[in-house]
Amino acid sequence: MSFVTSVIDWQRERGRHDLPWQNSRDPYRVWLSEIMLQQTQVATVIPYYLRFLSRFPTLASLADASQEEVMPYWAGLGYYARARNLHRCAQTVARDWQGRFPEKAADIASLPGIGPSTANAIAAFCYNARQPILDGNVKRVFCRYYGVDGDPQKKATEQRLWDLAWQHLEDAPAQVDMGAYTQGLMDLGATVCTRSKPACETCPLADGCVARREGRQFQLPTPRARKVVPQRQVCMLVLEHDEKVLMYRRADKGIWGGLLTLPEFADRRACTDWLQQSLGNDVQPLPLAAFEHVFTHFRLHIEPMLAHINAAPTLLPPGGDADHLERWQWIDINSLAEAALPAPLRTLLSGYFETDAQNPRLL
């Protein structure tokens, strides 16, 4: 039995069949799920996927929306460039492809935010195209099955894995259910050939697996070299007036691009100085409990401060950001649940405003 046939038979019998994006050949739904699943676990994605579709049920509805309308439905999912590219891609398909996703993988890969593996997955699921995929889970399956050494993120190792992925399809029977094969590879990596607890005894590929034969399951894929994770520090101000909070919409690029965030300062002293210069020395912000948020490349140590003011002054934004006054706005605290907030700030604000406002959590 060939590699491809073994994966297909296993998927039909033991693979996952109840995910909300399965059993659909609608490229919009498949594309949305593939983008959301990048760097994000299935259990986290499902509620976001369903909520996003309830607001944007078709590609046309997404293309017609503004980015400000889209971002709240991605807030908390992380890697926000995905959402911006998703929106750009929908607009590109609507404008350049008459609102219909292209069928060829190469054309799909030309769209914003879609790489080769995602393009191939869409083509395989929706059009039964004979195209291989190579996401993180599939890389792990191939590295173990063939005993491939080397960091799979490195170009040479990745190219070796692509060659193997193509070879499987060249050796496969003439008629292949590409949807079942593609889903089977994903399911194997996610549920059987897992990173820390591979279930080799239930794997349909166990008999031919080099890592299992040589006892190297926990050595492959080759781990990336550990790097010291730098730490950054910022002070964020929760400035409340008339049940509203002062917030800033960040530029599209960079960390939390396109999301609403709180005013930022180098430290608590700088925050206090700005408040007193703007509002007078009688304003004394209160320190809230500090916390950390871990990004891919650094840790961010956040020290929040809280201040309540009775009258809304004309404030010069922190850092003298007078060129972007339109980005500053007062957000009603009752609309924070629907606002496009990063996950740690949503937790911070909900933790404060859902408790007694007269008794904030102080250090």
Q: Which residues are catalytic?
A: 34
**Count, residues in the chain:** 363
Output the six-digit token pair for 327: 């980005």
- Residue 16's alpha-carbon distances to 10, 22, 119, 176, 253, in angstroms, are 10, 9, 21, 19, 36
DSSP secondary structure letters along 77-138:
S--THHHHHHHHHHHHHHHHSTTS--SSHHHHHTSTT--HHHHHHHHHHHH--------HHH
User: What is the pairing mode between strands 291-294 and 299-308?
Assistant: antiparallel
- Residue 279's alpha-carbon distances to 5, 201, 309, 332, in angstroms, are 71, 68, 9, 21
Per-residue burial over 74-107, b = 16 or more CB atoms within 10 Å of its CB, e = otherwise: bbbbbebebbbbbbebbbbbbeeeeeebbeebee
- State the residue for tokens 């089977």: 184
Q: For residue 259, give the DSSP letter.
A: S
- State the residue for tokens 């239930």: 202
d(CA 322, CA 313): 15
The H or E element that residue 352 is part of is helix 343-353
How many Cβ atoms sit within 10 Å of the Cβ of residue 41?
9
DSSP secondary structure letters along 31-47:
HHHHHHTTTS-HHHHHH
d(CA 263, CA 327): 11
d(CA 188, CA 172): 18
Q: For residue 251, give the DSSP letter.
A: P
